[in-house]
Amino acid sequence: MKIRTLRAARPNWPRQLIRAAMATLLPQHIFLVKGSASRPAISLTFDDGPHPEYTPRLLDQLGEHQISATFFLIGREAELYPELVRRIVQEGHQLGNHTWHHAPPDQVSARALADEVHRTQQLLTDLTGQVPRVFRPPLGKLTPGKFACVWRLGLTTVLWSVDPKDYQVDSVAELRRRLLDHPCRSGDIVLMHDSRPLALEVIADLARMAEQARVEFVTISKLMNAGSD
C-alpha cells in the first residue's frame, strides 16, 4: 500500500544507523520509528502545539476528513491553551509528550529532561484525565541514557519514518509537491507541525491520497496495536 509523500532528503547517516539499530533491537512499545507494514494504516503526527490559530484549524480539517492523529504537545504551550488540549482529546486524537520547554534532550541533563517530561505528563493528565503514553524528543535527539530515563517514566519513544519538512518549506504548493513526489507506505509515521501554517492546508490532499491507496490514518497507539495482533 502506498500513498505519495516525502522521505528525509538529506540523511544524517550515523544517527540514522543508530536509530535503525535501535528500531530493530527494541520492541515497539519501547521505541517506535515505523509501524507494521502488514496493515494498511499510517499515523499523522503533529509536534510543537498547541497553537492558538493553527491547531483549531487543523482540528477542523482532521474532523472534516475523519482522520485520527497524534499530537506531541509542548507542556508550556499546553498550559497556555488548555481548551485546545481538551478539544484534541474530545475529537478522538492521541496526546503525546514533547517536553515542557522543547529543549533538545542532548543539551539538558537527564534530571532536567525527567523533570520536563514529568511536568508535562502531570499537566496533560490533569487537563484531560488521560495519561500520555508516548514521547517524542525535540528534534528527535535522545542519548541512550536519557532514552532509558524516558522509558522508566512509562513512555514509548516515538520518532518518524517520513518527514516532509513542513518546517522548511515556504509555501503550500511546495509542501504539496513534496507529498506528491515521494511514496509513503503502510506503517509509516509522518512528522508535521501544528505550530506552523502549512500542514493544515494539505490534509485534504492526504485524505484523498489515502483513500486512493486504501490506507487509513490511525493514532500511534492503534498503529502499535495493529502490529501486535
Q: Which CB sits closer to Zn ion, 35 or 137? A: 137
Residue 45 CB, shortest distance to Zn ion, in Å, is 10
Stretch that binds Zn ion, among 42-50, 77-85, 172-180, 221-229 (CB under 5 A): 42-50
Q: Which CB sits closer to Zn ion, 47 or 201? A: 47
29 given a catalytic annotation: no
- Look at the block and give the residue holding cell 515556504: 170
Residue 196, CA atoms < 13 Å, CB-side half-sphere: 17
Q: Which CB sits closer to Zn ion, 151 or 167? A: 167
Under rule CB under 5 A, residue 47 binds Zn ion: yes
Catalytic residue among 47, 163, 188, 194: 47
Calculate the alpha carbon distances from 14 to 10, 31, 137, 161, 196 in Å: 12, 18, 18, 16, 29
Q: How many residues bind Zn ion (CB under 5 A)?
A: 3
Catalytic residue among 188, 193, 205, 229: 193
Under rule CB under 5 A, residue 194 binds Zn ion: no
Under rule CB under 5 A, residue 164 binds Zn ion: no
Under rule CB under 5 A, residue 96 binds Zn ion: no
229 given a catalytic annotation: no
Residue 102 CB, shortest distance to Zn ion, in Å, is 6
Cβ neighbours of residue 43 under 8 Å, at least 6 residues apart? Answer: 35, 69, 70, 188, 189, 190, 217, 218, 219, 220, 222, 223
Q: Are 146 and 105 in contact (CB under 8 A)?
A: yes
Residue 74 CB, shortest distance to Zn ion, in Å, is 7
How many other CB atoms sit within 10 Å of the CB of residue 173? 11
Under rule CB under 5 A, residue 48 binds Zn ion: yes
Residue 6 CB, shortest distance to Zn ion, in Å, is 18
Cβ neighbours of residue 153 under 8 Å, at least 6 residues apart? Answer: 114, 117, 118, 121, 135
211 vs 208: CA distance, rounded Å: 5
Residue 167 CB, shortest distance to Zn ion, in Å, is 9
Under rule CB under 5 A, residue 166 binds Zn ion: no
Cβ neighbours of residue 42 under 8 Å, at least 6 residues apart? Answer: 3, 184, 186, 187, 188, 189, 190, 210, 215, 216, 217, 218, 223
Under rule CB under 5 A, residue 138 binds Zn ion: yes
Which residue numbers are catalytic? 47, 193
Instruction: List residues binding Zn ion (CB under 5 A).
Output: 47-48, 138
